[in-house]
Amino acid sequence: MADASIGWWVVPVAVMGGALRVSTPFLFVSLGECITERSGRINLGLEGNLVMGAMCAYGTSYLTGSPWLGVLAAGFAGALLGLVHASICGLPKVNDIAVGIALMLFGTGLAFFLGKPLIEPSAPILPAIDFGWWSSIPQVHAALKINVLFLIGVALAPLLVWALATTRWGLILRTAGESADAARAMGYSVDAIRMRATMLGGFLAGIGGSFLSLYYPGSWNEGLSSGQGITAVALVIFARWNPMLCFFASLLFGGAAALGPALQSVGVSQGYYLFNAAPYILTLLIMIITCSPKRTLVGAPAELSITK
C-alpha cells in the first residue's frame, strides 16, 4: 500500500496528520478538565461526557441536518453531566473521584441506550479546511485537511491562559482552587464557582465528543472512545494545569494515537493492537516519569483532592 514516491515518509506524515486530527478530542477534554481542576475539583467522569457528546452530536446532526447544531447539543449534554457531577459533589462528605467514576459509567451507559438507533443511519458531518492545496502529494494533502473544531481549540488554549491569568473570572476561579477559605472570606460561594467550572469543563468535553462522531472517525458506535476521556484527564496533570501545555500534550497524544493506523497504511499490520494502545502506554510512562511521591507537583491547585 506504500506510496512509491515518498516511501516510508508516509509514516511520519501520517503521524503528523494524525496528531492534528486525532488530538482534537484530547485537546477539548483536557482544556475542560483544566478549568474544572483549577477550581479545585477533579471530574474523572469526562469519558462519559465525551461519549454522551458524541452520541448527542450525531443524533442532532442526523435529525436536523446541521452538524453545528450537533456540536452545540453535545456541549449542552456535557454541561448537563457536569451539572450532575457538581451538584452531587457539592453535598458534604461526597468524594469527587468516586462521583467521577459513577458518571463515567452512567454517561457511557446512557449514550449507548439512547444511541442504539443511531448506529445504522449516516449523519451530515463537519466540514474541513484544506491547508494542503500547495502539495501534490496525496498523503500531505490528507494530513493537512484540518477541521474547524481543531482551530477553535487552538485559539481556545491561549485564550484560557489569558483569562485565567488576568480576568476577574479567572482570579475568582483560581482562588477557589487554591484556597476555598479565601474565596469564602471574599464572599464567593465556592460551590457555585466549582459548579460553573465543572459545567464549562463538561461543555468542552462534550464538544470534544462531537468531533469523534462528526468528523473523525465520523460515525457513531459503542467503541467510539475507549479511554480517550480518561487519558485526557491524566494529560492535564502532565501539562501541569497549563492550557497551552495541554495543547502541546494533546498533539503528542494525537500523534501516538495515529501511530497504529499510520503503520498499518504502509503494510505493517504486526502489533496493530499494541500500537493502538500507544496513547495509554505513553500516558502511563509520562506519569511515571513526571510524578513524584515526595513533593507536590508544580502548578497543582492546592484544593485538588488528588494532589493534596
Partner 1 sequence: MRLAKDSSTLSVCSPPPQGAPQGGREQTEFAATPSPEAANDTSWSFRTAFTDRIGGAAEYIIIPALALAAALIAFGIFVALFGKNPLDLYFYMYQGAFGTAFSWQNTLTRAAPLILTALCTALPAQLGLVIIGGEGALLMGALAATSTALALAGAPPTVVQIAMVLAGMIAGGIWIALSGGLQHYRGVNETISSLLLVYIALAVLNQLVEGPMRDPASLNKPSTHEIGAANMIGAIPGTDVHWGLAFGVIAAALTYILIFHTTFGFAARIAGGNVRAAKVVGLGVGRLILVTCFLAGAAAGLAGMVEVAAVQGRTNANLAAGYGFTGILVAFLARHNPLAVIPVAILLGGINASGGLLQRRLGLPDASVLVLQGMIFIAVLASETLYGRFRIFRQGS
Enumerate binding residues for partner 1 (CB under 8 A): 44, 84, 88, 91-99, 101-103, 105-110, 112-113, 116, 180-181, 184, 226-227, 230-231, 233-234, 237, 270-274, 276-277, 280-281, 283-284, 287-288, 291-294, 296-297, 305-308
Nearer to partner 1, 95 or 122 (CB): 95
Judged on CB neighbours under 10 Å (0-12, 13-18, 19+), 134 is exposed
* CB 162, min distance to partner 1, A: 27
Euclidean distance between CA atoms 160 and 153, whole angstroms: 10
Half-sphere exposure of 179 (CA within 13 A, CB side): 6
φ, ψ dihedrals at 252, nearest 5°:
-60, -45
Give whichever of 80 and 233 is closer to partner 1, judged by the CB atom: 233
Q: Which is nearer to partner 1, 74 or 233 (CB)?
A: 233
Are 261 and 267 spatial neighbours (Cβ–Cβ below 8 Å)? Answer: no
Alpha helices by DSSP H, listed for the chain, are 10-38, 46-64, 67-89, 96-115, 138-143, 148-166, 168-178, 180-185, 190-214, 228-238, 243-265, 272-276, 278-290
- Decide whether 30 or 147 has the Cβ nearer to partner 1: 30
User: What's the min distance (Å) between Cβ of 198 and partner 1?
Assistant: 15
Q: Closest separation between CB of residue 259 and partner 1, Å? A: 12
For partner 1, the closer of residues 106 and 188 by Cβ is: 106
All three cell numbers of 233, joined, read: 484527564
DSSP state of 226: S
Minimum CB separation of residue 25 from partner 1 in Å reads 15
Least distance in angstroms from the C-beta of 278 to partner 1? 9
